[in-house]
Amino acid sequence: MHVMAGLLRDADGRVLLAQRPPGKHLAGMWEFPGGKREPGETPLAALARELREELGVTLQHAEPLVALPWNYGGHELLLDAWRVEAWIGEPRPLEGQALQWQLPALVDMAILTPADRPILQTLIEACSAA
Ligand code: CDP
């Protein structure tokens, strides 16, 4: 499956993380907001829909960062991470999930869903190269 993830940064360079709700796969772990692309959707449309559904924000501009495959013991996914450069609205936890803003370099990898760890690493490297 093709899973979209959005990397939103605030004015201080902190990135937005969402906690997976109880009852879902990897409940309690933190991830970049996003979800599965539906058939017929472009990646960008899927990302925009997920950000609207989960956070209530309207995507204005995003750039692809990296797409990495992951295998959760049988279910394979491609985690397609985009830097969300501009959006409208204040992110709100519309699905009951906790949210936090954190500087990428200070995120404890252990709290992240495993597939998101190499995405964070790529973001940190991109930030330090900028
Ligand atoms: O929101 P939707 O139900 O479409 O998707 P999801 O259940 O949140 O995510 C689908 C799969 O992608 C699950 O196995 C999640 O653990 C995984 N995922 C991930 O590893 N990292 C993300 N940032 C988002 C989803």
**pLDDT mean values, one per 10 residues, the chain (130 residues):** 97 97 92 97 98 98 97 94 98 95 97 97 88
Query: Given this model, what pLDDT does residue 24 score?
Result: 87
- Please, what is the Cα angle at 128 between 122 and 130, to 5 degrees? 100
Q: Is the distance from the beta carbon of residue 18 to the nearest atom of ligand 1 less than 6 Å?
A: no
Q: Is the distance from the beta carbon of residue 25 to the nearest atom of ligand 1 less than 6 Å?
A: yes
Q: How far is the CA of 3 from the centre of ligand 1 (A)?
A: 6
Q: Is the distance from the beta carbon of residue 35 to the nearest atom of ligand 1 less than 6 Å?
A: yes
Q: What's the CA gap between 5 and 7, in Å, rounded?
A: 7
Q: Spell out the residues 6+ positions from residue 32 whose beta carbon is closer than 8 angstroms to its own.
A: 5, 6, 7, 15, 16, 17, 18, 81, 116, 119
Q: How far is the CA of 114 from the centre of ligand 1 (A)?
A: 11
